[in-house]
Amino acid sequence: MGYSDDRGTTWTHATESSPTTYYSVKTELLLLPPPTLLPGVASGRGAAAPPGWPTGRVVAGGSGGITFSDSGGAQYDPSSWFSAGRNGRQLALVRRPDTHPLGPGPRLLLVGTVSGDPSVSAWTSDDAGATWQRRQFLPEPVTAPGVGRVLGLFALSEAGETDPGAGGRAVTVLGLGHLYQTSDAGETWRVIGRAPAMSTPAGPGQPDELMTNVGVAEVGPDGRLYIGVNTIGPGPGEWMYRTTEPFAVAGEDGPAPAAPARLSVTVRPNPAGGRIEVVLTVVEASAVRVVVMDALGRDVAIVLDGPVALGERVVGVDTASWPAGVYIVRATAGMQAAVSRLVVTR
């Protein structure tokens, strides 16, 4: 990493507050704008930046994870998503929707890989890239060359919005062409399509998916998604495709059908000033993790982490030492998640 103060004529090597002892390559840079340019503000939605939102922060992603700089790129500090075996090549800035438990506000999205994980996963940050929370694994349905790559992560414009990401929508393009989209600022993701197959049958017992490989993806100035596809092995070579309509509406015929809820979480009493009860309900025995996060998405307490039997489970939590404010209680079980808002008063 380096920076220039003379429009690129000369360069100075940036420093790291925690130098890495492994090979690290940064491939993604995101400059966080001042609050007046945050998604939603320019279009009159009133999305004010949270207290302490850093103007001019540079967030860098790549092999080795995520680092950030508040000194114009002179020094980079490690985020919570920073270690060997992490590869975060795609970042995007969106706005939490008005219906989000934390309310409207800026959020960073990250799609990347972690050594040992079964697939690509999606993460979010509500404190401008300093700390990150995993939201969901994004598997591709087959195992083949290209799995585990992320070719693009793009904030999308809502109808009537001028700022990409203002409605909490983004799309990511994976190595075999599967397209995942979020409509709630990264809380949940669903497959909405796939790049066109560019293959001929690979042979007995080998699915055509083995032949499809996405080389590049980009959202153009016309709002369409452009994808460059090539083949692995015999096939028709390399082709460029684009969606027939602006991608902000492509494949979006309405809200996604609701999946049967496997779990729910509530809090009582709420608001609270002392001891509370977290009530977890599961419809099948599952490994469940329940955490409490503050308004910046940082973990405050781990309520539960382990197997839970079918039915209702009640866990007591003491909030007496917590500062007054809004908290989120989040339960996850496999690919499903449930959240509840908690207000702590004094």
Cα–Cα–Cα angle for 266, 269, 272, rounded to 5 degrees: 115
- % of residues, the chain, pLDDT over 70: 67
The helix/strand/coil state of 341 is strand
What pLDDT, on the 0 to 100 scale, is given for residue 197? 58
**Whole-number Å distance between alpha carbons of 295 and 291:** 13
Closest CA to 165 of 84, 72, 67, 91: 91
The owner of tokens 């669903």 is: 190
Question: What is the average pLDDT value for the chain, to the nearest integer?
Answer: 76
Mean pLDDT is lowest, of 129-143, 155-169, 220-234, for 220-234
pLDDT band for 145, please (50, 70, 90 cuts): very low
| Burial of 254 per CB tally in 10 Å (0-12, 13-18, 19+) | exposed
94 contacts 185 by C-beta, under 8 angstroms: yes
289, containing H or E segment: strand 286-293
First to last CA, the chain: 46
pLDDT in tens, 46-98: 556 677 778 788 898 888 888 898 887 788 888 888 888 888 878 988 888 87
Q: How far is CA 257 from CA 64, 160, 227, 252, in A?
A: 37, 24, 27, 12
pLDDT band for 26, please (50, 70, 90 cuts): low
What pLDDT, on the 0 to 100 scale, is given for residue 269? 92
171 contacts 179 by C-beta, under 8 angstroms: yes
pLDDT in tens, 97-108: 877 777 778 889
What pLDDT, on the 0 to 100 scale, is given for residue 160? 62
Q: Which tokens sit at 77?
A: 């500090």
Radius of gyration of the chain (CA): 21
Mean pLDDT is lowest, of 199-208, 236-245, 309-318, for 199-208
60 contacts 183 by C-beta, under 8 angstroms: no
Mean pLDDT value across residues 178-191: 87
Mean pLDDT value across residues 113-123: 85
48 contacts 110 by C-beta, under 8 angstroms: no
45 contacts 95 by C-beta, under 8 angstroms: yes
pLDDT for 280 beyond 60: yes
**Whole-number Å distance between alpha carbons of 36 and 82:** 29
What amino acid occupies position 62?
Answer: G
Torsion-angle region of 253 (φ positive above 0: left; ψ -120 to 50: alpha; else: beta):
alpha
